[in-house]
Amino acid sequence: MTQFTEEVLVIIKRIPYGKVMSYGQVARFAGNNRGARQVVRILHSMSLKYNLPWHRIINSKGKISITDTRYAAIQRELLIAEGVEVSEDGYVDISIYGV
């Protein structure tokens, strides 16, 4: 496992309950300003194995970006259960709920 991947895992695990981060933010905090797509791949392949709070990751516009409608709905419900306001079309106000 690369150092970047290890850092990403730690950062995602530390996102507080009721807060969100973007893929790009996670990448920057892990030391790679251009690693947002790598964060996507890490989440996709390691969320279950490492019990990551994957639902706390959104895109830079504050939107749920999962294209599968079933998983997007699950992400929305998990965020709402944590007290995060999510619009019907999947937007979160990062200025309020961002880390």
Q: What local confidence, expressed as pLDDT, does residue 17 receive?
A: 98
Predicted confidence at residue 74, as pLDDT, reads 97
- The answer to whether the CB of 32 falls within 8 A of the CB of 50 is no
Q: List the domain boundaries for the chain.
A: 3-97
The answer to whether domain 3-97 has CATH 1.10.10.10 is yes
C-alpha–C-alpha distance, residues 86 and 76, integer Å: 7
Rounded distance between C-alpha atoms, residue 74 and residue 61, angstroms: 19
Averaged pLDDT, 1-5: 95
> H-helix or E-strand containing 22?
strand 21-22
The pLDDT tens digits of the residues spanning 18-76 come to 999 999 999 999 999 999 999 999 999 999 999 999 999 999 999 999 999 999 999 99
